[in-house]
């Protein structure tokens, strides 16, 4: 007698929060930050790239300097002037302008460069939106092809919750990863 087949369990949807905050390098500009499951995406990327950076980083750096570098290697997206959020909503649902896409893969920027030019040092991902879900997969850094796909994701979000987060980004008056006076993030 054969056993009935059991469909594999689907992963629980992840939670996303979009943030409106001052750009870390240019506080007069508003940027779009991201939290996945309550953790800033910059922190997730820092941990995912820590070992990948080791061959390139200076051995004279303190652990605190190294952590700061890793945490600040990317910045929230500025997305130019977007007062009503329409450009950000389209972008994060996969309808991104060419300058924020990898022309070879179609992946789009989730985070940009601390220099203020989003496409300078982007964190890229494939974004696939259906009626029910939005998925981020294949996250990578285009300027480090030797790293390959980063050990992040895939992140699957409920589309209604994702769109609600995009429509009502959490307003912040300062970057949550900014150093406090004691140097602790």
Write the burial class of residue 70 (CB in 10 Å: 0-12 exposed, 13-18 middle, 19+ buried): buried
DSSP string, 80-130: SS-TTSHHHHHHHTT---GGGB-TTT--EEEEB-TTS-TTTS-EEEEEEE-
pLDDT score at 55: 84
pLDDT score at 48: 95
Query: Per-residue pLDDT tens for 172-184?
Result: 999 888 864 333 3
Can you tell me whether residue 139 is helix, strand or coil? strand
Query: Per-residue pLDDT tens for 127-158?
Result: 999 999 999 999 999 999 999 999 999 999 99
Q: Is residue 70 part of a domain?
A: yes
Q: Is residue 10 part of a domain?
A: no
Q: Is residue 5 part of a domain?
A: no
Containing structural domain, residue 96: 16-171
Give the H or E element holding residue 66.
Answer: helix 63-71
pLDDT along the chain (185 residues), means of 10: 54 88 85 95 95 84 86 86 79 90 93 87 95 96 93 95 95 82 36
pLDDT score at 29: 85
Write the burial class of residue 75 (CB in 10 Å: 0-12 exposed, 13-18 middle, 19+ buried): buried
DSSP string, 22-58: E-SS-TTSEEEEEEETTEEHHHHHHHHHHHHHTTTS-
pLDDT score at 160: 96
pLDDT score at 12: 64
Closest to 118 (Cα-Cα) out of 158, 74, 81: 74
Q: Is residue 183 part of a domain?
A: no
Whole-number Å distance between alpha carbons of 77 and 63: 27
Whole-number Å distance between alpha carbons of 173 and 57: 32
Q: Is residue 43 part of a domain?
A: yes
pLDDT score at 183: 35
pLDDT score at 140: 95
Q: Which residues pair with 136 in a beta bridge?
A: 127, 155
Q: Is residue 97 part of a domain?
A: yes
Q: Is residue 9 part of a domain?
A: no
Q: Which residues pair with 34 in a beta bridge?
A: 18
pLDDT score at 10: 55
Cβ atoms of residues 9 and 16 within 8 Å: no
Q: What pTM was computed for the model?
A: 0.86
Give the total number of structural domains in the chain. Answer: 1
Whole-number Å distance between alpha carbons of 94 and 142: 18
Write the burial class of residue 154 (CB in 10 Å: 0-12 exposed, 13-18 middle, 19+ buried): middle
Q: Is residue 2 part of a domain?
A: no
């Amino acid at each position: 007698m054969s056993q009935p087949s059991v469909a594999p369990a689907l992963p629980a949807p992840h939670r996303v929060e979009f943030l409106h905050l001052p750009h870390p390098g240019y506080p007069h500009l508003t940027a779009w930050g991201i939290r996945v499951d309550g953790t800033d995406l910059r922190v997730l990327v820092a941990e995912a790239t820590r070992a990948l950076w080791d061959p390139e980083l200076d051995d004279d750096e303190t652990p605190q300097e190294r952590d700061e570098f890793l945490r600040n290697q990317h910045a929230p997206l500025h997305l130019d002037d977007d007062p009503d959020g329409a450009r950000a909503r389209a972008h994060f649902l996969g309808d991104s302008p060419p300058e924020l896409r990898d022309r070879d893969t179609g992946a789009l920027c989730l985070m940009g460069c601390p220099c203020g030019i989003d496409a300078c040092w982007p964190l890229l991902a494939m974004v696939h939106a259906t009626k029910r879900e939005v998925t981020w997969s294949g996250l990578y850094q285009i300027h480090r092809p030797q790293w390959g796909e980063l050990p992040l994701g895939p992140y699957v979000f409920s589309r209604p919750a994702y769109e609600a987060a995009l429509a009502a980004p959490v307003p912040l008056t300062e970057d949550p990863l900014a150093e406090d006076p004691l140097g602790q993030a």
